[in-house]
C-alpha cells in the first residue's frame, strides 16, 4: 500500500503517489532547494525478494553514473528509516511513447525519425558506459512537451561482468526481445539494437511487427519468422529506413549494425534528406513560331524582339508539384 501523504524521507517531502508495483514512485519536493523530484521506494515485498532488491540497488548505481540529455537523471539514493532503499530522480512532465502513439502525438515522418534519433543517441551513450538496457520499449521512453526524449528504467539493465539473472530465467518484454535473449544465450549490446528495430517499426507504422498475444507464439515468430515489411511500405517509410529496420532485427546478431553509431548516422542522413529543399528546374522556353522572311522583316522593323523571359512566362510548363515528405503538415510535437 502507498504511504499516507504527506510523508518525508530525509530532505524529501512526498506529495503525490504516482504508481508502481514492487517499487512505488512519488512526486516530491527537495525541501533544501525547492526542486520537484520523483522518489522511487522499494516496497516491503520488494525488500523480501533478494533478486528484486539487488536489481533496484544496481539500477540506482548504474543510472546514477549516467549523464546525458536523453537519459533520466538520478540525483540521490539511500535508505529510509525502515531500511527500504530509495532513489531520487528527475521529475518528468509529458508522456511515455506508448501514450504518445495512442494519442497521435508522434507527428509526421520527420518528427518520428527525430524521436528515434534521440533514443539511438541515448543507447549509444549507455553502451559506452558498458551498460546494456535489455528492456527497450515505448513505456521506457518518455517525451516532454518540447519533444525531448528521456530513456528511463534501468531495472533489468546489465553491466559488463555483472550477472543477476538466474539460469533459465528470462528478463525483458516479449515483443522487443532478440532471438538470443529468448533462448537465454550470451547477451550483448546487440539485443538493444534488435529492440530498437522493433521500436522503430512500431513508431513508424503504429503497430507491432508480431501480431500475437500468447508469449509462446511471440517467441516462435521472433525465432523463426522474417519481419513483415509490408506495413512499412504501406506507411510510406523511405527505403533506407526500411532497410535499417530489417538490419536491426536480423536474427543473427552479427548481421545487425554493430552498435548505434551506424544507426544514428542512417537516421541523421534520412532526416537531412527530408529537410533538403526541393529544387524545381526552370522549364525550357517554347520554340518561336516559324515566320516567312517578309514577316521577319516586318517584326524586326516594327519592334525589337521580345525578351526570352517573356517566352518563359507565356509558354513554360507549370512546375511539377513536389512530393517531398518535408512539405507535409507541421509535426505534432515541437523538437528541441
70 burial class (0-12, 13-18, 19+ CB within 10 angstroms)? buried
In angstroms, what CA-CA distances link 120 with 66, 117, 231, 248? 15, 5, 22, 12
Q: How far apart are CA 95 and CA 153, in angstroms?
A: 14
Nearest Cα to 59, choosing from 44, 43, 42?
42
Q: How far apart are CA 26 and CA 35, in angstroms?
A: 14
Q: Is residue 76 flagged as an active site residue?
A: no
User: What 3-state class would DSSP assign to 14?
Assistant: strand
Q: How far apart are CA 91 and CA 322, in angstroms?
A: 43
Q: How far apart are CA 267 and CA 264, in angstroms?
A: 5
Q: How far apart are CA 134 and CA 123, in angstroms?
A: 11
Options 96, 135, 153, 266, the catalytic residue: 135
The residues annotated as belonging to the active site are 135
Amino acid at each position: 500500500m502507498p504511504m499516507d501523504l504527506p510523508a518525508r524521507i530525509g530532505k524529501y517531502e512526498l506529495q503525490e503517489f504516482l504508481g508502481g508495483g514492487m517499487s512505488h514512485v512519488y512526486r516530491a519536493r527537495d525541501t533544501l532547494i525547492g526542486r520537484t523530484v520523483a522518489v522511487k521506494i522499494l516496497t516491503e515485498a520488494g525488500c523480501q525478494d533478494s533478486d528484486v532488491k539487488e536489481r533496484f540497488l544496481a539500477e540506482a548505481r548504474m543510472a546514477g553514473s549516467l549523464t546525458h540529455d536523453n537519459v533520466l537523471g538520478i540525483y540521490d539514493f539511500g535508505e529510509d528509516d525502515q531500511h527500504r532503499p530509495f532513489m531520487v530522480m528527475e521529475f518528468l512532465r509529458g508522456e511515455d511513447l506508448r501514450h504518445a502513439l495512442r494519442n497521435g502525438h508522434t507527428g509526421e515522418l520527420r518528427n518520428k525519425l527525430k524521436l528515434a534519433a534521440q533514443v539511438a543517441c541515448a543507447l549509444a551513450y549507455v553502451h559506452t558506459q558498458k551498460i546494456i538496457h535489455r528492456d527497450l520499449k515505448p513505456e521506457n521512453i518518455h517525451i516532454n512537451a518540447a519533444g525531448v526524449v528521456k530513456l528511463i528504467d534501468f531495472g533489468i539493465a546489465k553491466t559488463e561482468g555483472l550477472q543477476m539473472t538466474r539460469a533459465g530465467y528470462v528478463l525483458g518484454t516479449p515483443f522487443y526481445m532478440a532471438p538470443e535473449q529468448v533462448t537465454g544465450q550470451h547477451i550483448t549490446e546487440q539485443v538493444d539494437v534488435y529492440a530498437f528495430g522493433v521500436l522503430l517499426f512500431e513508431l513508424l507504422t503504429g503497430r507491432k511487427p508480431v501480431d500475437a498475444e500468447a508469449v509462446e507464439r511471440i517467441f516462435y515468430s521472433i525465432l523463426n519468422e522474417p519481419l513483415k515489411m509490408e506495413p512499412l511500405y504501406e506507411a510510406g517509410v523511405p527505403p533506407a529506413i526500411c532497410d535499417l529496420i530489417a538490419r536491426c532485427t536480423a536474427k543473427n546478431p552479427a548481421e545487425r549494425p554493430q552498435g548505434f553509431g551506424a544507426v544514428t548516422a542512417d537516421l541523421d542522413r534520412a532526416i537531412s534528406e527530408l529537410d533538403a529543399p526541393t529544387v524545381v528546374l526552370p522549364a525550357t522556353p517554347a520554340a518561336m513560331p516559324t515566320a516567312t522572311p517578309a514577316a521577319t522583316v516586318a517584326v524586326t522593323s516594327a519592334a525589337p524582339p521580345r525578351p526570352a523571359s517573356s517566352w518563359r512566362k507565356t509558354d513554360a510548363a507549370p512546375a511539377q508539384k513536389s512530393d517531398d515528405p518535408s512539405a507535409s503538415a507541421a509535426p505534432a510535437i515541437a523538437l528541441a
